Structure 1
Amino acid sequence: MGALGGYADGQVLTDGNQGSIATPRPINPSTSTTNPSARETQNQNPYLGSVPTGPVTSETLSFTLQQAVGRGLKYNLGLIDSIQADAAVRAQRLRALAALLPNINARAQQAYENISYSEIGLKLPPIGGFTIPPTSGAFGFQDARISATQSLYSLELQDRYRSQKILENASLLNTKDSRDVVVFAVGLAFFQVVASKARLETAKAQLASSKELDSQVSNQYRSEVSPEIDAIRAQVERQTAEQRVTNAANEFEKDKLTLGRIIGLPLEQNFTVFGGEEYRPLPDIAELREQQQALGNRADLASAQQTVRAAELTVNAEKAQRMPAFSLNGNYGTGGTNFANANQLYEASVGVSVPIFTGGRIKADIDQAEADLDRRRAEYQDLEGRVKYDIRVARLDLASSESSVNVAANNKALAARALVQSQDRYNNGVTNYLEVVQAEETLAAANDNYIQSLYSFNVSKIALARALGNADSRLNDLFGGN
């Protein structure tokens, strides 16, 4: 899927001449907690962060997948950012609407003036030997008015408003799509915790078995029934099992921190998860039907379609700059030497504005808008193909991982039987302890393969839910529970 950008198809770790395939793991924000790396991780993928909310209690909280997703949908940073982006787009729509609505202002003033006749070009000859003074002399007046301006007709402003209104709808759809991304992010982290928990429990069971065998072999060595080499091997196996428990517990705690960061839990709050350990087959749905559902349900696809329509209206708005625009201006009030002796004042005018020469600015605006429209159309067509691609890839991963689960479960049972037989052979003196050690390692590998296969299967189901859209409503069908 690539929504989190935290998985590799396969990472090869080389140790000398030996190579092994590392288990794919999600991005772990616990490895980037110092500036500037933490801030960069947040900027690159806000869905790995959250707003920690709630008091820290001494009790250990428990979360199912649905409960973890529900908390993520409240406190995940990516979704919060998307909701705030809605508010910004809504403000742009209101700004475009304001250009179409009347603008009304009130103004009152007390003025004192002394007018120069020569400044305004007034020249009066002397009358009867009397010379007109060069200024009017100081005088004052009071004036209070209400003024209004209104766009009567502007196709440009109308199309810009329609474009912003559609962009607001597109932003709301983006927020809906962000919910699906949160479900995907929480699902990945949740099942990583489930897998780590299973590995820890398996490591503890192997430690208990290693301790029992170590005690048994030590007694046989002291009784001179088994050679010292068997006792040494048993001790090494027990110490190795102890270290495996330590490592598994460490990974379990780190994976819990990752999940807690995504769903908004304070880092000090202890919690665990339950559910997700069992294999639950996927309901049988035809792929063609899934594609039809996704094309109708994917909010990001609907948002891209709305963005194309908004870009078309923007092109129309740029072209409409060449059209006449009509406006109404007026004011009404009173004025005079004082308000007690004021006279009624008013003014009304209708104006028309027609661009004659703009130096090519309108042509440049149109070209830019058309280029943006072509880009939006290409993005929509690409996204439509990617939706089908996501479903196909999720289905292929499901088929592969489901087969791996069945094979791993069978191998796990066979490895357990082989260990029992090796222990019986050793107790009866038919073989040495090396065969028992090899059987234990085979069982450990079989258990880890089963855990990893089940994890991959559950992640593939989460990816399918994301690909189909409305991911949170599909969890009960895919994983059971309420």
Structure 2
Amino acid sequence: MLRSTPLALGVPLVTLLCPSPARGQAPIQAPTAPPAPVRTVSLSLAQALRTALDQSPRVQQSLLAIAESGDERRSAAAALMPTVAAEALGQRNKYNLEAQMGMSVPGFPKEVGPYNWSRTGLEAQVSLFDLSLWKKWRASQHGEDSARAQGRAVREEVAAIVVGQYLRALRAAASVQAGESRVELAEALAKLAENQQKQGVGTKLDTLRSQVQLQTERQRLIQAQTQRATALAGLGRALSLEPGTRIELTDALATPALPATGFQESFAASLAQRPELAALEAREKAAANMQEAAQALRLPTLVASGFYGSAGLESHPSTRTYQVTVGLRVPLFTGGLVSAQVSRAKSEQSRVQEARREVRSQVGFEIQVAQAELDAAAHEVEVANLAVALSTEALSQARHRFEAGVSNNIEVINAQDELAKANDSQISALYRLNQSRADLARATGRLENMYLPQDHPAASAR
């Protein structure tokens, strides 16, 4: 039995129980709120990139990580700085001299006090020599450098996502524009076939073929419009925009300026510019400093402390007092603490070195692939442009032959299909050219710099 049967049986029952409006009386409708206006945002690729870098949660998290590493550096530096504190002390004392001395002394009282005394002043302490603290501070500096480089890597990743999504939206928009032009052309050719049939030059079959081609072009246009809507929604998601925001693209899919560098130049630039490599290099330096800091725990440390203030009994005036102390501490046995910390630092160094080797190899692979894709896409664009020009000329010739009654419109239909394929190939080639150019810039670590001017805050936040 279908589950919808009780619902179907319940509808007449509700109708019988609820009073119906009088005949001729219009039902009362609840007022509806006006639809909210749709927000429209016009974005170029540079504007989209700025928006993403300003609003991306990943970028904000990387900024917090940089701030935390700065706090760690300041904490490590504070251990090397002097500490100063104010002190105010008051005591009431009473002593048993016999108990403290362990004997009774003739002529001396058995007890002293009670009496009150107080002391006020400043006390300070500073580390004169502690190589371990110094190396830890250096390690924290390199840790902050690593966090900053990792922040640049996050920005490059976000930029790659936004640029790729924007280029996909441009490709979809170009497909819609080409589809609209083909629909207009198909409508004109269908009208021409109808006129040819009315004049006795064409046949009913020519008219039917042109109508079928028109519907085919309309279907392609619907698919292109759907892909454009999907691509724009993905772009809005990448930019963290409010759902439902309408995005208008101000850039167009065109042939960009291509870099003239080869593999060796690009690979050398990537070794100097890739933030991932810079982050790993800073981590390796930090691990080396931590190893030296652990080894320095075996060395003596020298600390100076002092007090300056006033002290005195409650019934007497206070007297200026001071105290200066210099202490030397020599570790003799640490219970394996030093060897454990040295081993941990060496493991971190080895791990970072292996990661650098892997990233270096990955960078070379990315540059090779992007360079090959860029060269191939550049040739594809040239071939696709020529194919579009030839297909357009072939369609024009077929249309003239059909208008003159020399042939039927089979040649026109075939030429329309060839033009549609050429348009799609041209758009795909332009997209691959722009995407491979962005991939090459990403592989060399300069994707953000390629699309944003250096004086913009989003480009200079490093």
TM-score, reference length from structure 1? 0.74
Aligned AA for 2:361? G
Matched residues in 2 for 1:341 and 1:269: separation?
79
Hey, what does 2:25 align to over in structure 1? none
2:417 pairs with 1:441: yes
CA deviation map 1:429-465 (0-9, x unaligned): 6665565444333322221121111111011111222
Hey, what does 1:471 align to over in structure 2? 447
Matched residues in 1 for 2:303 and 2:37: separation?
64
Q: 2:68 aligns with which of 88, 92, 102?
A: 88
Matched residues in 2 for 1:331 and 1:281: separation?
71
Matched residues in 1 for 2:327 and 2:100: separation?
29
CA deviation map 1:71-126 (0-9, x unaligned): 444344433333332211111111111111112122324445677889x7566669
Hey, what does 1:195 align to over in structure 2? 171
SS at match of 1:349: strand
2:293 pairs with 1:317: yes
Hey, what does 1:258 align to over in structure 2? 234
Matched residues in 1 for 2:114 and 2:234: separation?
78
Matched residues in 1 for 2:388 and 2:335: separation?
78
Hey, what does 2:78 align to over in structure 1? 98
Query: For residues 121 and 229 of structure 1, do their structure 2 counterparts lie closer, same or farther at Cα, with a shift above 3 Å needed?
Result: farther
* C-alpha displacement of 1:320: 1.2
Counterpart contact for 1:332–1:346, Cα < 8 Å = yes
2:387 pairs with 1:411: yes
SS at match of 2:333: coil
Provide structure 1 residue ranges, at least 5 long, that are not aligned to the other structure.
1-55, 478-482
Q: 2:49 aligns with which of 64, 69, 72?
A: 69
Matched residues in 2 for 1:213 and 1:232: separation?
11
SS at match of 1:415: helix
Q: 1:364 aligns with which of 336, 340, 364?
A: 340
* C-alpha displacement of 1:283: 4.1
Matched residues in 2 for 1:340 and 1:268: separation?
82
Counterpart contact for 1:57–1:269, Cα < 8 Å = no
Aligned AA for 1:98? A
Query: For residues 362 and 221 of structure 1, do their structure 2 counterparts lie closer, same or farther at Cα, with a shift above 3 Å needed?
Result: same
SS at match of 1:277: coil
Counterpart contact for 2:62–2:150, Cα < 8 Å = yes
* C-alpha displacement of 1:258: 3.2
Matched residues in 1 for 2:68 and 2:37: separation?
37
CA deviation map 1:20-46 (0-9, x unaligned): xxxxxxxxxxxxxxxxxxxxxxxxxxx
CA deviation map 1:309-364 (0-9, x unaligned): 22211111111111112212222323344497333344332223333233322211
2:84 pairs with 1:108: no
Query: For residues 115 and 193 of structure 1, do their structure 2 counterparts lie closer, same or farther at Cα, with a shift above 3 Å needed?
Result: farther
2:119 pairs with 1:143: yes
Hey, what does 2:310 align to over in structure 1? 334
Query: For residues 330 and 428 of structure 1, do their structure 2 counterparts lie closer, same or farther at Cα, with a shift above 3 Å needed?
Result: same
Q: Report sequence identity in percent.
A: 27
Q: How many residues align?
A: 418
Q: 1:401 aligns with which of 363, 374, 377?
A: 377
* C-alpha displacement of 1:202: 1.0
Aligned AA for 1:315? Q
SS at match of 1:173: helix
Aligned AA for 1:89? S
Counterpart contact for 2:38–2:244, Cα < 8 Å = no
SS at match of 2:356: helix
Counterpart contact for 1:103–1:148, Cα < 8 Å = yes
Provide structure 2 residue ranges, at least 5 long, that are not aligned to the other structure.
1-35, 454-462
SS at match of 1:341: coil
Matched residues in 1 for 2:68 and 2:417: separation?
58
SS at match of 2:320: strand
Matched residues in 2 for 1:339 and 1:409: separation?
105
2:371 pairs with 1:391: no
SS at match of 2:272: helix
Aligned AA for 2:415? A
CA deviation map 1:219-269 (0-9, x unaligned): 566778766665555444434433433332333233234334444655565
Q: Which has the larger radius of gyration?
A: 2
The root-mean-square deviation of aligned C-alpha atoms, in Å, is: 3.7
SS at match of 1:282: coil
2:282 pairs with 1:306: yes
Aligned AA for 1:94? R
Matched residues in 2 for 1:272 and 1:401: separation?
27
Hey, what does 1:376 align to over in structure 2? 352
Counterpart contact for 1:184–1:462, Cα < 8 Å = yes
TM-score, reference length from structure 2? 0.77
Matched residues in 2 for 1:169 and 1:352: separation?
34
SS at match of 1:148: strand
Q: Which moved more, 1:419-428 or 1:246-255?
A: 419-428
Counterpart contact for 1:194–1:274, Cα < 8 Å = no
